[in-house]
């Protein structure tokens, strides 16, 4: 995240790849902070789940991210998918199974997967909402330093 912050700053300020955008309101800053927090939750929970679950099972659960994305998109933006999409997602979710099951590992892995999906929805809102629209490079510029600050305690504790 530190490298993302640095490189996005270089790309915006020095290389002028996209125009610099400023944070326009406290609400926009809170949305970016929430996005960073959700991102950090997905990273921490994903790493913790690997302590309890095999990587293969972790990947199986991660394959359910589109299901959570569709649910969060509907709950937050009322965006509906085609009925065939929901049927397909049910098939993906019900295909998950693993003999080396650990309940805590499963819970944190599902939390990480849900957080990844929520991050996608929040990011989509910040990239497209008319009043607070940021381009992806500027969003990364503001999100990454917040994520560094939020991940630092977990990194120091876990690593």
DSSP 53-73: S-HHHHHHHHTTHHHHHHHHH
* CA 147 vs CA 1, 15, 61, 89: distances in Å: 7, 24, 24, 30
pLDDT of residue 145: 95
Residue 85 has pLDDT above 70, yes or no: yes
Q: Kindly report which listed range (60-69, 87-96, 124-133, 149-158) carries the lowest average pLDDT score.
A: 87-96
pLDDT of residue 43: 93
pLDDT confidence bin for 137, thresholds 50/70/90: very high
Read off the pLDDT of each residue in 30-57 and give the average, rounded to a whole number: 92
What pTM was computed for the model? Answer: 0.80
Residue 45 to residue 67: CA distance in whole angstroms? 18
151: its two tokens: 């991940």
Residue 78 to residue 84: CA distance in whole angstroms? 17
Terminal-residue alpha carbon distance, the chain: 16
Residue 145 to residue 149: CA distance in whole angstroms? 6
Residue in this structure with the two tokens 């095999």, named with its chain if needed? 54
pLDDT of residue 108: 93
pLDDT of residue 142: 94
CA 93 to chain CA centroid, nearest Å? 19
């Amino acid at each position: 995240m530190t490298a993302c912050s640095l490189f996005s700053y270089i790309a915006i300020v020095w290389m002028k790849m996209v125009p610099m955008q400023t944070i326009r309101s406290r609400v926009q800053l809170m949305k970016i902070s929430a996005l960073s927090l959700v991102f950090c939750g997905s990273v921490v929970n994903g790493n913790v789940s690997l302590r309890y679950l095999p990587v293969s099972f972790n990947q199986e659960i991660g394959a359910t991210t589109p299901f959570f994305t569709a649910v969060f998109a509907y709950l937050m933006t009322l965006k509906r998918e085609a009925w065939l999409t929901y049927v397909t997602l049910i098939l993906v979710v019900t295909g998950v199974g693993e003999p080396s099951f650990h309940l805590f590992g499963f819970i944190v892995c599902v939390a990480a997967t849900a957080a990844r999906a929520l991050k996608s929805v929040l990011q989509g809102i910040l990239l497209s909402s008319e009043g607070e629209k940021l381009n992806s490079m500027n969003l990364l510029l503001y999100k990454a330093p917040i994520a560094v600050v939020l991940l630092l305690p977990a990194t120091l504790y876990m690593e």
